[in-house]
Amino acid sequence: MVKNVPLSGKQAQISLSPGELGDSGIASVTAIDMAGLARAPIEFSLGTRNQKGKGRLFALAVGIDKYPLMPGSDLKYAVSDAKRVASTVHASAHYSGVKIETLLDQAASTETIKAGLDDIVERAQPGDTIVLAFAGHGLLDTHGHLRLALSATTTKAIEETTLDFDEIASRAAKAQARAVVLLDVCHAGASGQINVASNDDAVNLLTTRSGTGVVIISASKGRQFSEEAASIGGGRFSVAFQHALTDQRRQTDSDGNGRISVNELYGALKSRVAEQTNGRQIPWLSRNEIFGDFDLF
């Protein structure tokens, strides 16, 4: 939020100075009536803005393929998906500085993930952006709590050997920066042994309990599985993410302002993944306390 203007009547004229808008490439205006009802945001592109922004980017990418204590649950490309997201984000020219941490397989423990989140939340300031990416299995324990499966996870001690998504949400709630979560935790492979959580389960938790400005782009909707393919060397979602920001960047940048906004990124991901899976997998966009579009990469 950069400006809150009291209004009355049916029409109004509002001025926004360049200083108020900062380095943003998009301005969104939302009208809210006295009852608290809000109309959909109206968005204005502010033109080509190729220079680096003033904000910094902090990212944490977690990918887990190996589940030695959960036979039959191994994935092939969650680790490569996390690496792909990290390298793609790292190449963004939109920020004054970029800090990326990648945690893979055994290195992605409850302690290291929480420590990584704490470090990012502490360092990120207003005007910065946090990107969190999770690729692996999401599980539901006996109490219905959502958990991220780790390489140390065993079905005999789910609660003790997984990371509760409440821990992620509570840490995100402390962030002063806006957060973008890339969520890819609904895969086939473990469904015969345990309760597999959907991406929707994680989205619902993060949007209701994070308490901060967060945008979540999940790899699939509902009970759809996130697909992996040897022909592309990874998951459909992460490969589409890479293409949208690299060789297909011009097509993704639909308004031609030199930056990729959240809506542009989501549109590219949804189109490519849905087409390549014949509609079996459709990415989904959710928001909490963030209205309208904004440039991300």
Q: Is 253 left (phi over 0), alpha (psi -120 to 50) or beta?
A: beta
Please check whether residue 16 lies inside any domain of the structure. Answer: no
* Res. 26 pLDDT band, cuts 50 70 90: confident
Please check whether residue 161 lies inside any domain of the structure. Answer: yes
Please check whether residue 193 lies inside any domain of the structure. Answer: yes
Please check whether residue 47 lies inside any domain of the structure. Answer: no
* Res. 109 pLDDT band, cuts 50 70 90: very high
Tokens of 17: 């100075």
The CATH number linked to 270 is: 3.40.50.1460
Please check whether residue 23 lies inside any domain of the structure. Answer: no
User: What mean pLDDT is predicted for residues 247-271?
Assistant: 93
* Res. 200 pLDDT band, cuts 50 70 90: confident
Please check whether residue 40 lies inside any domain of the structure. Answer: no
pTM listed for this prediction: 0.86
pLDDT at 45: 75
Note whether 180 and 262 are within 8 A (CB). yes
- Determine the structural domain holding residue 84 and report its residue range: 56-288
If one counts the domains in the chain, the total is: 1
